Amino acid sequence: MDGLLKELQSLNIGKVKENEPLANHTTIKIGGPADIFVEPSSLEALEKVMDCVRAKNIPWRAIGRGSNLLVSDKGIEGVVLKLGSGIDHLDIDGTRIKVGGGHSLVSLATLISKKGYSGLEFASGIPGSVGGAVYMNAGAHGSDISKILEKAKILFEDGSIQWLNNAEMEFSYRTSVLQKKKPGIVLEAVLLLRQGEKEHIVAEMQKNKDYRKETQPWNYPCAGSIFRNPLPNYAGKLIEVAGLKGFSIGGAKISDMHGNFIINAGNAKAADVLALIQYVKDTIYNLYEIHMETEVEIIGRK
């Protein structure tokens, strides 16, 4: 690993750190160290990193802005690639836009709304990256990424790069082919929007943003929705009716505002969150015989 670290540091590819705490890079402020942490300065730099990683057969993992993510207290083995500045380019061609995987989803939605383009109103307040949103088919308010994605440029584990169209992404509720079959990094996405009335779009964005502020605990570190909705039921409602709002284990607490959010109430560990997730699963199954599945992605050393 030392050899890889020195090689990456010599390539002038962006930020390269050893044993970087991933709590610094997740919205819930939890996570042990990455053996090697890289924030590439460009797509070309990212490809150089992957060439080195592949040549040495080192495990790797990509992250975006760290939402919808719970990292083990023991950290992540190998190389963690953070897609952020440098991979956040944006090319607007009317209602067709090409955007880098590291671009903030909420800032993109805000920018696009001010131009009078419709299709991203649902993303107001979703604190992730475009790449992460495509990876998990992020959505809210009755819409999601699958409704507007034309194609995505993916860097696969073997180093190959390929554009996948909407059908090839195999989107379903909060998931895509990248989770189910073909792990990869979303380098770019092409989104197809619609011309709309600027005032109406901006008002819809603000309404969605206000709703999140009123119903979700964004004033505390959290990872977003913890469980998938076991349709036709809703995870938050089931947890609330079960009387679990406010229940805590260690520094992890089920939000008093919304049952499907676990907050870091103070120095929480991943182990606290995992224990709380299991407690919720057991309680809901015992009460309703409903299996709860996590929406938050749980990664890192066991």
Which residues are known catalytic residues? 174, 225, 295
If we measure between CA atoms, which residue out of 224, 178, 191 comes closest to residue 66? Answer: 224
DSSP letters spanning 231-295: TTS-HHHHHHHTT-TT-EETTEEE-SS-TTEEEE-SS--HHHHHHHHHHHHHHHHHHH-----B-
Q: How far apart are alpha carbons 79 and 99 in whole angstroms?
A: 24
β-pairing verdict for 69-71 and 297-299: parallel
Residue 90 C-alpha from the chain's centroid: 19
Q: How far apart are alpha carbons 188 and 268 in whole angstroms?
A: 34
Distances (CA, A) of 155 to 49, 91, 160: 12, 20, 6
For residue 189, the one-letter residue type is A
Residue 169 Ramachandran class (φ > 0 left, ψ -120 to 50 alpha, else beta): alpha
β-pairing verdict for 261-264 and 252-254: antiparallel
Structure tokens at 67: 């939402």
Which residues, in sequence order, are CB contacts of 69 under 8 Å at separation 6+?
26, 27, 28, 31, 63, 223, 296, 297, 299
Q: How far apart are alpha carbons 249 and 267 in whole angstroms?
A: 12
In this structure, the number of other CB atoms found within 10 A of the CB of residue 142 comes to: 7
DSSP at 22? G
